[in-house]
Amino acid sequence: MLKDSRARRIDYLRVSVTDRCNLRCIYCMPPGGVPRLSHEEILTYEEILRFVGVAARAGIGKVRLTGGEPLVRKGLPCLVGELASRHPNLDLSLTTNGTLLAEHAGELRRAGLRRVNISIDSLDREKYRMITRGGELNRALEGLEAALEEGLDPVKVNVVTLKHVNEEVEGFAELAWRLPVHVRFIEYMSPCGACDPDLYVSSESIRKKLEALGPLEEAPPPPGAGPAVYFRFPGARGTLGFISPVSSHICGNCNRMRLTADGMLKSCLFSPEEVDIKSLLRSGASEGDILESIRSCLGRKGSGREWAANPSRAMFQVGG
Ligand code: SAM
Ligand code: SF4
């Protein structure tokens, strides 16, 4: 079992498979994008598989593939397939903007993916285009539909709320009424974001807007709920949740570590502490060496709060 310096059990690994993205969300990426990592700089799928193998044998039970946009990297379903067949008990999931999901949902499902999180920040076509700097809402919605049709379960929808930009909740309330999806409103973390900190909106404010539509009841969290709390309108097929990294102290229950696309292991989203796993993997390190590096990284994991105001990397580099 893996534990960190504060005796928190670490059983969740987020793997960023690329820092590239086909969108440029205003809160996540600079308008012109970012200098691309070269092919050699990012971990190969074989390297990711080796690292996940070591981590899984040490007690990691849950792996999420993320990015950048994971589906822009060729062959992602093959990685999913290998992970699922080598680790049948692993809780394997994907976070995607959904715009390429319609083409891949079937293949991903057959490869062994069970569940998916799709980021859709507005259900208004023009607003979605503005937030994503050119994205097409229809494509994300087609991805959502494909995920449901293929039986991925649960399907969660991530919404980062920004003041005066996408605070309207009616569309998402209707979505969670009509479809068995779990909409999660996420507070904007400005220190690792790319837009004005004043655009922050609290979960509390969004919850009040939902309550103005009708009484909400507490709902059981779907599998893999993490730090979100869930509610529903009585009779709805889906739920509405809140992830409040800014207004609530969620770091105390942190159970995760992160592997960046360029092969650095981070014990905290915000922390500058990183362990160079890529160099280890490429220098013929043994499983014991890799495990020791994981433990030493976790041994230096702080409370989270000490770095939150000044994170070392942007969100698209770490994968959320
Ligand atoms: N491209 C994929 C997507 O958009 O789902 C995966 C990577 S994205 C970095 C992972 C999650 O982080 C998304 O749900 C995104 O909305 C969220 N995110 C990005 N920047 C954020 C910020 N500054 N504050 C809060 N959430 C953020
Ligand atoms: Fe790309 Fe996801 Fe960041 Fe949007 S939130 S720019 S889709 S990585």
Ligand nearest to the CA of 226: 1
Tokens 């969620």 correspond to what residue?
250
* Percent helix, percent strand, percent coil in the chain, to nearest 5: 35, 20, 45
Q: Cα(149) to centroid of ligand 1, in Å?
A: 24
Which element (helix H / strand E) includes 118?
strand 115-119
Alpha helices (runs of H) in 212-312, residue ranges in sequence order: 277-282, 287-299
First to last CA, the chain: 24
Q: Cα(186) to centroid of ligand 1, in Å?
A: 9
The domains of the chain, with CATH numbers, are 12-317 (3.20.20.70)
CA atoms of 13 and 211, how far apart (whole Å): 35
- The one-letter amino acid at 15: V
Distance of CA 284 to the CA centre of its chain: 30
Q: How confident is the model at residue 314 (pLDDT cuts 50, 70, 90)?
A: confident
**pLDDT, tens digit, 9 for 90 and up, residues 124-149:** 999 999 999 999 999 999 999 999 99
Q: Say whether pLDDT at 69 is over 80.
A: yes
Ligand 2 nearest-atom number relative to CA 28: 3
Predicted confidence at residue 285, as pLDDT, reads: 95
Q: Residue 13 in 3-state DSSP?
A: strand
- Which residues surround ligand 2 with Cβ inside 6 Å? 21, 23-25, 28-29, 67-69, 97, 119, 316
Ligand 2: which residue has its CA nearest to atom 8? 68
Go through the chain and tell me how many residues it has: 320
**pLDDT, tens digit, 9 for 90 and up, residues 256-308:** 999 999 999 998 887 888 999 999 999 999 999 999 999 999 987 766 565 55
- The one-letter amino acid at 210: L
For the Cβ of 142 lying below 6 angstroms from any atom of ligand 1, the answer is no
